Amino acid sequence: MNNQVYQKGLSNQYLRKYYRFRYSAQFYGGIVTADVVGCNLRCIFCWSQKTAWNPRKGTWYDANQVMKALITLCKKYTCHRIRLSGGEPTLCKEHLFNVLKQVPENILFILETNGVLLANPTFIEALEEVQQPLYIRISLKAGHTYFTKVTGAPIELYIAQIQAIKLLKQSRLRFNVAIMKEFFSSDEITELERLISPKQIEFEELILYPFVKENLKVLGFI
């Protein structure tokens, strides 16, 4: 699906599909968001699955266009935080770094990611070279026991997430780890607390939309 949600444009710019730009006062004390199309997981409770999973959705944007839209919203709402969300931002590395290069010094970029592709040390090293303010939020949707059932992905991708956290721990980058507590055993949470400081662990809220309840019921979680 990757070549359906990002591509190289005529001007040698890497283009990515986005389905909206928005401001939300609910998260991070206010943040401007560009929602991307495309993800490498299929989480049963994903709120954006109708758009993020559908390569026919969205409009092509290059990094310049994305940053222009984000900064316009930042000025409108007097906001100093931006992010890419909705899908998985790291799927198009070249496009992501083109966006990062344009972040103003007074704006904090929060990279929300499942972390699978950050298991590559060169990716972490490249992020360390970013001069603009950057914070990374790794989102773990389930522990080892339920990972495949919850995300539809092979367990190797969970192992990659843990490797990414280990690499981040060794890096200069600021980060935290968000987990969906309902899909982690107490032992898995304890293991994570041994890996990083408990202060770096955030518990995400499971929002029980009707379709989420149905998915949980079908898979035997409720």
Q: Write the CATH number for 113.
A: 3.20.20.70
Q: Which of 110, 2, 9, 97 is nearest to 61 (CA)?
A: 9
pLDDT at position 165 is 98
Length of the chain: 222
Sign of CA dihedral 214, 216, 219, 222: negative
Q: Give the pLDDT of residue 9.
A: 64
Angle at which helices 121-128 and 93-100 cross, to 10°: 10
Domain count, the chain: 1
Task: Give residue 7's pLDDT band: very low, low, confident or very high (50, 70, 90).
Answer: confident
Q: Give the residue numbers spanning the domain of 169.
A: 2-218
Model confidence, pTM: 0.92
Contact 177, 136 (CB under 8 A): no
> Which pairs from 48-57 meet CB under 8 Å and 24+ separation?
48/86, 48/87, 51/19, 51/86, 52/19, 52/86, 52/87, 53/87, 55/1, 55/4, 55/5, 55/17, 57/17, 57/19
Res 191: pLDDT: 96
* Tens-place pLDDT, residues 156-188: 999 999 999 999 999 999 999 999 999 999 999
Single-letter amino acid, residue 117: L
